Amino acid sequence: MRWALVKVSLAVTAMVVIAFAVPLGLVIREMARDRAFSNAEREAAAIAPALSITTDRDQLERVVASTGSDAAMAVHIPSGDGRDALGMGRRRAADEDIAAVRRLGRASTSTVPGGSALLQPVALSTGEIAVVEVFVPESEVTNGVGTAWAVLAAVGAALILGSVAVADRLGVRMVRPAQRLVEGAQELGEGKLGARVPEEGPTELRLAAVAFNSMADQVVQLLANERELAADLSHRLRTPLTVLRLNAASLGDGPAAEQTRAAVEQLEREVDTIIRTARDAKPQTAAAGPGAGCDAAEVVRERMAFWSALAEDEGRKWRVAGADRPVRIPVARADLAAALDALLGNVFRHTPEGTAFAVDVHNGEDAVIVLVSDAGPGIPDPEAAMARGRGSGSDGSTGLGLDIVRRLAESTGGDVRIGSSVLGGTEVRVWIQLDGRERAPRRRGHRGAVRRRGPGRLIPTFNRPRSLP
């Protein structure tokens, strides 16, 4: 916008300057010419009284000398036969021009080498017509014209530069508030809820800034209300949790009782974490700096230790692979634990008792893949299962668990894929990018696992999708 205003102002001012400067320059040139010939007419008129009285050469020479222009003046006095009987000064005009002036009886100009000649007729006492010739050099005709044109050009350039400067300032006054509005929108989009825009500039931009600030305030208020609502709803769970904890304490000894008490304690911790997080007024940033994250192998071992007790009660066979050495990923420990619990909870919730499952961790150069597979009936519609708020349609699942896993993977530049596992059921592949770069998009409909080729390198292998029962 700024350069557009400058270009428009430059074009308009240049056209205005040309429209006025060119005619004015021509007028100045004509005025200089008229001035030069007016001076020549005055000089010719100065000796006209003397010619009307006498044609004596000596007297006429004194008159011409008194005018101070004897070098540029010539007098042509005719004889009875029409030829010049007396000629004074240097003759420059042609004979036919002089004869035409005598015949017509009015002043005329003719072009001569080096300039122009003014031919002025004067009536003598004898009734003859004498012609006074005054030479007007070209330098006198153009005297001052070059200087005047230079002044006009300088004034025109100054006007153009001034208009450009004014347009630039106006453009800055309009563009700067717009840039600040864009920066404020980008900051708000990045999660900086304190971003506001100064209310300055033209009226329209001031109104836009007011609307943006009002929108940002409403967003902050809505988030605060949402946190308060989450905290209040979570706080309401304390009472039934307390009753559940007391009932669990009265179950006595045994694996089932210990598992129940451990689950109640973990649920209480999770509720406390939700309340503290919701009450925190400061926005949390999802970006992890260098060195931040957790050990995926350790989290997998910890969560499998928890779920293994329930698996033994239900007669499920389970297996963990690739979690015997540290695997660092740029994901918070609590987020990875929540994602694993969501995937394993889906296995226990949507497969019959006795169904085997496995968790594999593959560590590559630029990504870590976590595979959770089972030997269950599979997922008929993986697309619907991945959609937030929609399940597969047959078991009442909401799909929120898979959405938690998807958000975790996409926060690192990875993704989540659902396919068929080697156990015969469902395989959920969680691709966690280590460097945070976005991976190239893949065609939908491809499912598969990964295999290793060489130490530390993951090679994706895609299998032809098959219908799941």
Q: Using one digit for the tens of pLDDT, what is the confidence trace for 369-424?
A: 999 999 988 888 777 777 654 444 445 455 567 877 888 898 888 999 998 888 88
Helices 333-350 and 296-314, axial angle in degrees (round to 10): 20
Residue among 431, 384, 391 at smallest CA distance from 411: 431
| Residue range 294-463, CATH number | 3.30.565.10
Strand partners, 448: 462
Confidence label for 451 from pLDDT (cuts 50, 70 and 90):
very low
Residue among 361, 241, 358, 250 at smallest CA distance from 307: 358
Contact 114, 99 (CB under 8 A): no
228-242, 346-360, 436-450: which range is least confident on average? 436-450
What's the whole-number average pLDDT of the chain?
A: 76
The mean per-residue pLDDT over the stretch 82-97 comes to 68
CA atoms of 402 and 431, how far apart (whole Å)? 13
pLDDT the model gives residue 399:
59
Based on C-alpha coordinates, what's the Rg of the chain?
Answer: 51
pLDDT the model gives residue 468:
30
Q: Using one digit for the tens of pLDDT, what is the confidence trace for 231-274?
A: 666 656 655 766 676 677 777 777 877 788 787 777 777 776 76
Residue among 418, 374, 370, 410 at smallest CA distance from 392: 418
What letters, b where the CB count within 10 A reaches 16 and e where it falls short, cover 195-209? bebeeebeeebeebb
CA atoms of 263 and 169, how far apart (whole Å)? 68
Sequence ranges of the domains in the chain:
238-279, 294-463
